[in-house]
Amino acid sequence: MSEIQKWVDITQFLSLKKGEMIDFDYEDKKIMILNLNGEFVASDRICTHAYVDLTGGFLDESEKRVTCPLHLSSFDLKSGDALNLPAEKPLRIYKIKKEKNKLFILI
């Protein structure tokens, strides 16, 4: 079954400071929004290895990766790829766009 995607307004997160990540729930999705040196990124926030919230993990802005606080798998925040075991499945990365003074995520 294919899902219809839509742009959702997340302008409220424009005030997120560099290096910060915050949780954002939308319908059944558990998402996190990150500010990587001024660039906004959105991904799922539940580790693909076990049910752990990655907003409690470690963000490396220069390498654009987040590391799970439980077993320390890192995920590339551009591709979503799991970079080391035990996580093997990628994290879902969402498209994000900035238009005028608004921020949107494609969900």
Q: How far is the CB of 86 from ligand FES (least distance, A)?
A: 5
Subset of 18-37 contacting ligand FES (CB under 6 A): none
Secondary structure letter of residue 3 according to DSSP: P
Taking the alpha carbons at both ends of the chain, their separation in whole angstroms is 15
Helices and strands in the chain, H and E counts = 0, 10
Residue among 21, 33, 52, 59 that touches ligand FES (CB under 6 A): 52
**Among residues 10 and 87, whose Cβ is nearest to ligand FES?**
87
Binding site for ligand FES (CB under 6 A): 47, 49-50, 52, 68, 70-71, 73, 86-87
